[in-house]
A and B are shown apart, each in its own frame.
Chain A
């Protein structure tokens, strides 16, 4: 039922295996990702809905043992799409590396969480969205914002705390917002973005059904991690989204670690995709280090949501190459585990795919990398030269209607007093 499938997890160092041991078949070769993994339904074409799939509401995920993938003759991306995705992944990687440099030079401060290694998830999903679709993320949100179209210079300025940042320097690394690109945050607290995303999906459905905007088929993506999947508000939102058939996709970026807490030590059943069918929506597991596989799953899930068929839970098995944040010494993760995932770097894999399938030449890809280097350098220069926020900005943006600051002693609204924005904190 549905398109739920499971790919056997690669052998991981189990710190405390409290699950009943099941025989784990040998993992498939990870370098072959040509074609779809949907080997159970070979006659199925990609984005056509079948009556079979519409009844996914009561889907029970079937565990599929991994089969050696066969190459298909039709490629999964066109050249333009491939280059667009490649450029996006390179932008994510180069930008995050630059953030690390800038942090150690003192240009950025506070908590900074980098996305290295997880680019396939962001590019795989977000590059399929329209501008009106929404993305909600966690504190690891720089690359989600970039993929959605927020300019690199706006994100870098925000990280430097300058007034030209996407949130005027008021949000910071963990709170990237953009109304223009429908990036609804950037939240520091675990699980906090999920109800916000559910609300955004509700807005879309409301617009279509109550306000009769028939062409409103906007979907929302909620990104969060494995640790969040144990959180109460996640389950509350799964329930509501399935109940009301909201156009939302819950994307779990399972990188196996919540700061220093291994997913396997924290979760009674580590297979997060199973939580979807428990609430009446399809649950899917996908190799999150492979951007094409992610893209295929994303296409289906987004298609479902746009057609009004309801939510999907997608678990992406991925890995973060750096520590939890730039302040994390990262002592607990096994170096072998890190090496294994580093060998599956999504960018290297995709580059190989493009070249082997003659979608792009080395020279073209190098040109893209050079272009991105320039974009990120320019972003840093722009951020450096931008001014810090003025004193008066301290009291701005607390309310949409500034009269919320009340009536002053002279009987007029405080915000009408010319001295109000001179930067005094006397409110």
Chain B
């Protein structure tokens, strides 16, 4: 049960994982990561990024519910209170307000004509976990992504987490950093370059996780893992899929997506959020505007079900994209005959 996995993970210690002995499933050998031999969990990646940025710049501080003494509600800020003290790692009383992210942070630089900028990073888990119900499962990528003035980042692997968080902290504008609770405990290989304290990824650039020539699959956060697994399944059916890890929802890397579609001529977008006005809708519009003539098939959108997330385990499974859903959508885009929905 995923719930149990989450509990165990809370006890993970140390800033860097000692994961040399941990074997990744064979299927992942196809991923083209730079081989460094070292592995790191996303949690450790985020923790080390925060640690290094706080060490480098005394102006950086962390503020939030449970970030200090509790070591972080998901243990991302573990050890920071001891290292930097209560003045730089502040436990706040409970305050819950989305309004200021949209109406103050995003708009201040514009309203003041560049006089007041807002170099804040709003970070935390986003999207569904496992069995946490309707109010804890919504993906806010599309909500935040629609607001000009915000930068919205969605890391997948540990390298993404480190590089993008460092970039976000150094960035002079408000950044919404959407993590995923279920990815915190997952381990990914990291290159020596990524472990360097000045490592940074550019904001607004997507990454091609897997090159292909038959169909483009775009995804972000946890869905990148699903898309890669779907790509392996499709490979057996002779469909060579290109998987793009968006990394950034705003600004959206339209150039990379369009270049890929011009190469493959087919597109499947994958997200966990609700379909209407979602990320897939925006990507689809962008591709139609820039690369209409290159499309050989309608764009397939794979998204969460258009319902608040149910609690019951079997309904929740149906409410979010599974690997088979991505495979089916890709086959539909390639005009292979497939049923519209899972039969199970």
- A interface list, Cβ under 8 A from B: 15, 103, 106, 109-111, 158, 161-163, 167, 169-175, 187-191, 227-228, 230-232, 258-261, 265-267, 327, 329, 332, 388-389, 391, 393-395, 398, 423-427
Contact = CB atoms under 8 A, between A and B. Distances in A.
A340 B307 CA distance: 46
B340 A189 contact: no
B3 interface: yes
Given A110-B131, A173-B311, A425-B341, 17 more contacts: A109-B131, A111-B132, A161-B131, A161-B312, A170-B134, A170-B311, A175-B134, A258-B94, A259-B70, A260-B66, A261-B65, A266-B94, A327-B7, A394-B315, A424-B340, A427-B305, A427-B306
B12 to A, nearest CB: 12
Nearest to B91: A261
Contacts of B306: 395, 398, 425, 427
B111 interface: no
Interface of A (DSSP majority class): loop
Interface string B226-254: 00000000000000000000000000000
Interface of B (DSSP majority class): loop
Contacts of B313: 109, 161, 388
A195 B339 CA distance: 46
Contacts of A171: 133-134, 311
B308 A174 contact: no
Interface in B59-106: 65-66, 69-70, 73, 91-97
B339 to A, nearest CB: 9
B113 interface: no
A112 B314 CA distance: 18
Closest 5 CB pairs of A and B: A172-B311, A110-B131, A260-B70, A169-B312, A161-B312
A161 B275 CA distance: 25
A43 B167 CA distance: 70
Nearest to B136: A188
B15 interface: no
B310 interface: yes
B38 interface: no
Given A170-B315, A425-B305, A109 B130 contact: yes
Given A110-B130, A327-B7, A227 B311 contact: no
Contact of A110 (B95, B133, B314): B133
B1 to A, nearest CB: 5
Contacts of B4: 106
Contacts of A227: 93-94
Contacts of A158: 311
A230 B7 CA distance: 29
Contact of A190 (B70, B94, B131, B308): B94
A394 B307 contact: yes
B263 interface: no
B131 A259 contact: no
A162 B310 CA distance: 11
Contact of A266 (B2, B93, B310): B93
A186 B268 CA distance: 38
Contacts of A427: 275, 305-306
Contacts of B311: 110, 158, 161, 167, 169-173, 175
B115 interface: no
A209 B315 CA distance: 43
A74 B3 CA distance: 51
Nearest to A425: B305
B223 interface: no
A231 B340 contact: no
B319 interface: yes
Nearest to B321: A425
A259 B133 contact: no
B69 A332 contact: yes
Contact of B133 (A175, A230, A398): A175
A227 B340 CA distance: 47
B73 A329 contact: no
B331 interface: no
A261 B95 CA distance: 13
A327 B305 contact: no
A110 B135 CA distance: 12
A30 B136 CA distance: 40
Contacts of B136: 111, 174, 188
B10 interface: yes
A424 B341 CA distance: 6
Max chain A CB contacts within 10 Å: which of B69, B92, B93, B130? B93
B1 A109 contact: yes
B318 A425 contact: yes
Contacts of B132: 110-111, 172
Nearest to B304: A425
Given A106-B4, A110-B133, A174-B133, A261 B307 contact: no
Contacts of B130: 109-110
Nearest to A332: B69
20 contacts: A103-B3, A110-B131, A172-B131, A175-B135, A189-B135, A258-B65, A259-B66, A260-B70, A261-B66, A261-B91, A261-B93, A265-B91, A332-B69, A388-B313, A388-B315, A398-B306, A398-B307, A425-B306, A425-B318, A425-B341
B213 interface: no
Nearest to B341: A424
Contacts of A332: 69-70
Nearest to A163: B312
Given A172-B133, A425-B319, A230 B93 contact: yes
A395 B312 contact: no
Interface in B17-38: none
Interface in B130-145: 130-136
